[in-house]
């Protein structure tokens, strides 16, 4: 019996759709943080960073992307999804963490 090989980020990122997974997760995150009852100062500042994705002249020459923000704030994002029991988002976050972070 052959087992299907899972992508291994330590060998190659081939087969790992990190960019699209990160974009999907940001949509799921925005579902929560765009709700004024779920947002706070931290998430409002996070949205400013998210708006700067791909714009190097507003980031000190760095080009931020969604995956970088997920990696940088993974614990905050996880905490939010846990708080609102968003199991679908948690599953995708865990996949991104395993494959790409």
pLDDT score for 41: 98
- The Cα-based distances of 67 to 1, 2, 36, 74, 83 in angstroms read 35, 32, 24, 10, 22
CA distance 97 to 79: 14
pTM of the predicted model as reported, rounded to 2 decimal places: 0.82
Matching residue, tokens 């940001």 = 26
CA distance 45 to 48: 5
The 10s digit of each residue's pLDDT in 1-21 is: 555 666 555 556 677 788 899
How many angstroms separate the first and last alpha carbons of the chain?
A: 31
69 and 54 Cβ atoms separated by less than 8 Å: no
């Amino acid at each position: 019996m052959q087992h299907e090989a899972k992508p291994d980020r330590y060998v190659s990122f081939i087969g790992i759709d990190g960019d699209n997974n990160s974009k999907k997760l940001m949509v799921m995150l925005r579902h929560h943080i765009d709700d004024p009852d779920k947002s706070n100062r931290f998430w409002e500042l996070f949205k400013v960073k998210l708006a700067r994705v791909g714009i190097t002249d507003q980031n000190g020459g760095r080009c931020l992307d969604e995956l970088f923000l997920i990696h940088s704030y993974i614990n905050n994002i996880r905490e939010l999804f846990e708080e609102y029991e968003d199991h679908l988002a948690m599953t995708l976050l865990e996949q991104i963490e395993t494959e790409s972070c």
